Structure 1
Amino acid sequence: MQGPSCSVRQSLVRRLEASLRSPVQSHSSRCRSSAATTTTKPSAFVLRSKTAASQFSSPLLPRPRLFSQTPRARSKQPAEDPNFSSILDNPPQLVRTGGRRHGPGLIVLAIIPVTAFLLGSWQVQRLGWKTDLIAKFEDRLVREPLPLPPRIDPDAIHDFDFRRVWARGRFRHDQEMLIGPRMRDGEDGYMVVTPLERDAEDGGRSADKGAATVLVNRGWISKKHKHQASRDPVSLPKGEVVVEGLLREPWKKNMFTPDNRPDRGEFYFPDVKQMAELTGSQAVWVESTMEPGLLEVMDMESRGIPIGRAAEVNLRNNHAQYIFTWYGLAFATSIMLYMVVKKPPTDISRRVRLNKEWS
């Protein structure tokens, strides 16, 4: 007969065994559940594969192959090629991009300073030539005037250009010619050219007067005194007169001057040979000189008396300005060319190119 103490002890033993057995059962249950999950996934995948295969089980459609069993060909590696070269073995080359370095613009820019330098050097020669020419003419001006011979060789006039001469004779106002328009102090007018008829003596005998006639540029008159009737009678001297002036070479026409029209009495430039043929005189051109004061010039202009030129050399000598201009242009364009050629390329305009040419 068991007492109460014995039953209590048995109940305590059963509780202790239950408490020890519960962790083991929970661990085993977790292991069984994970195994069950692992076993169910392949089966589900197999079921889905079977279901997909059953969808394409139609005799009209080809049955797809779920897994390829054909062995894939092994690709050849680049290192197995004996001609393979690595970028590490071949150093890169820095090249400039963004256009060619030597284009047409650079060629033109290189031609400009050379051309400007040559033109500047040519102007240096012209300056020396013009300076010597002006000095020679000024030397002739300071000499005493020579009497103009009755007959003059046209080829010898070049050696007497700007030489002061004087001649005696009579003006042929009926053969007067006006060359214009010509400006003087901002006013329009004309140059009055009148043949001077001289007496020529040859062995004590009077020769042909026309052979000794020369053309005289008497000076400038205002446009309002174009006609002789509007001038003061003093402007048309009669009888014998003495003319002092400069012997000049025949003038040369430029490309912008129109041709003379002698039939209408229109002369735009002094064509000495043409005027000599019209008047029957020698092809000799004399420019009358005078040095009037300001008040005298104003009086002569109002009365229509021709105003002669001053006895001076009026040749333009601007070659020094041309030298400065051309040499300055050559210097400036040379600096521009240097800056364009020597300008370093920027980081943006560089790129790396593989050099495939082995040395």
Structure 2
Amino acid sequence: KTGPDSLASMWTTASQRAGQRDWLAWRPRRCGSSSAEATATKTEDEGFLRWFLLLIPVTAFGLGTWQVQRRKWKLQLIAELESRVMAEPIPLPADPMELKNLEYRPVKVRGHFDHSKELYMMPRTMVDPAREAREAGRLSSAAESGAYVVTPFYCTELGITILVNRGFVPRRKVNPDTRQKGQVEGEVDLVGMVRLTETRKPFVPENNPERNHWHYRDLEAMARLTGAEPIFIDADFKSTVPGGPVGGQTRVTLRNEHLQYIITWYGLSAATSYLWCRKFVSRTPGV
């Protein structure tokens, strides 16, 4: 019996079977295409990862090379500083502009102190190379806290007043009444190192002129308060007198840690280069 309904039913069944055959025939081709696309994507990802990770050893090597150049510069700077510190004292220039290139240069002056206008840089500890060598590497120090006594000094030959860091006194001796014996009177010859003004570093408190507490060298402010020129020298150790401040409080040090930076960066470059080669060149299993 082949009525219209039967023909329609047969057509539908045949169409469904043909569709199933077409789908079955098409599905493997789709899987093959997806596999190829996945492989291509994986290859692209690995290529990107390879060159991206290569940046680590290359960058570390570049930083190590930069530290080599920095170390050469620092060693030259230290040598220049040492030669300047050990040079013979020269007369103090009267022009503050000339002093900008003379920091740590020994100079000599002649004049007298004005002890009525002392300034105190505090808290400070006394510069003592022998003690500092003994305590190197320790977490704490037994150094006594105190202050640097900065006193106006009238230079008779130049006709100007400058500021002189006479040296260290312990906290109990900050009051000048407790060290009258050390208050030098009359005209004296003095040798000291030129020091320039400082800018406040992070975490360093602000200066407090009202309390006469100075945490860093602000020469302009110190000069205004005392009527001196913004010229500052650290008196040498020979200026020390019994009962007075201990001179020679210039800390001449420059940090030179570039060698350990060189080792760190080159070591990191070597280690990451080895891992990169194992991963992308040797193809060691499991890495």
Give TM-score scaled by structure 2 length: 0.70
The question of whether the paired residues in 2 share the 8 Å contact of 1:272 and 1:285 is answered with: yes
Paired residue secondary structure (1:273): helix
Give the match for residue 268 of structure 1.
Answer: 215
Please state if 1:190 is matched with 2:132. Answer: no
Give the match for residue 226 of structure 2.
Answer: 279
1:248 corresponds, among 170, 180, 195, to 195
The question of whether the paired residues in 1 share the 8 Å contact of 2:70 and 2:258 is answered with: yes
Q: Structure 1 residue 336: deviation in Å?
A: 4.5
Paired residue secondary structure (1:329): helix
Paired residue secondary structure (1:308): coil
From the superposition, tell whether residues 85 and 263 of structure 1 become closer, same or farther in structure 2 (CA, over 3 Å): closer
From the superposition, tell whether residues 139 and 267 of structure 1 become closer, same or farther in structure 2 (CA, over 3 Å): same
Give the match for residue 99 of structure 2.
Answer: 157
The question of whether the paired residues in 1 share the 8 Å contact of 2:167 and 2:249 is answered with: no
Please state if 1:290 is matched with 2:242. Answer: no
The question of whether the paired residues in 2 share the 8 Å contact of 1:225 and 1:304 is answered with: no
Q: Structure 1 residue 341: deviation in Å?
A: 5.3
Give the match for residue 204 of structure 1.
Answer: none
Please state if 1:306 is matched with 2:245. Answer: yes
1:325 corresponds, among 264, 276, 279, to 264
What runs of 5+ residues in structure 1 fail to find an aligned partner? 1-69, 202-208, 348-359
The question of whether the paired residues in 1 share the 8 Å contact of 2:169 and 2:244 is answered with: yes
Please state if 1:238 is matched with 2:185. Answer: yes
The question of whether the paired residues in 2 share the 8 Å contact of 1:134 and 1:313 is answered with: no
> 1:336 and 1:235 mapped to 2: Cα distance?
67
User: Larger % of helix: which?
Assistant: 2
In our comparison, the structure showing a higher alpha carbon Rg is 1
Cα displacement string for residues 125-168 of structure 1 (whole angstroms, at most 9, x for unaligned residues): 3322222222222223333211224x22x222132222211111
Give the match for residue 145 of structure 1.
Answer: 89
Q: Which amino acid aligns with 1:197?
A: Y
Q: Structure 1 residue 322: deviation in Å?
A: 2.5
Q: Structure 1 residue 328: deviation in Å?
A: 2.7
> 2:285 and 2:275 mapped to 1: Cα distance?
19
Q: Structure 1 residue 200: deviation in Å?
A: 4.0
Aligned ranges for residues 1-359 of structure 1 at < 5 Å? 73-74=13-14, 75-76=17-18, 84=26, 95=39, 112-149=56-93, 151-152=94-95, 154-184=96-126, 186-200=143-157, 209=159, 212-231=160-179, 233-290=180-237, 305-309=244-248, 313-339=252-278
> 1:229 and 1:344 mapped to 2: Cα distance?
80
> 2:170 and 2:48 mapped to 1: Cα distance?
59
The question of whether the paired residues in 2 share the 8 Å contact of 1:214 and 1:281 is answered with: yes
Q: Which amino acid aligns with 2:155?
A: R
Q: Which amino acid aligns with 1:145?
A: P
What runs of 5+ residues in structure 2 fail to find an aligned partner? 1-8, 132-142
Q: Which amino acid aligns with 1:157?
A: L
Give TM-score scaled by structure 1 length: 0.58
Alignment size in residue pairs: 253
From the superposition, tell whether residues 265 and 322 of structure 1 become closer, same or farther in structure 2 (CA, over 3 Å): same
> 2:109 and 2:155 mapped to 1: Cα distance?
8
The question of whether the paired residues in 2 share the 8 Å contact of 1:138 and 1:312 is answered with: no
Q: Structure 1 residue 275: deviation in Å?
A: 0.8
Q: Structure 1 residue 274: deviation in Å?
A: 1.4
Cα RMSD over matched residues? Answer: 4.0
The question of whether the paired residues in 2 share the 8 Å contact of 1:244 and 1:288 is answered with: yes
Deviates more, 1:154-163 or 1:117-126: 117-126
Q: Structure 1 residue 85: deviation in Å?
A: 8.0
Q: Structure 1 residue 84: deviation in Å?
A: 4.8
Q: Which amino acid aligns with 2:72?
A: G
Paired residue secondary structure (2:213): coil
From the superposition, tell whether residues 102 and 216 of structure 1 become closer, same or farther in structure 2 (CA, over 3 Å): farther
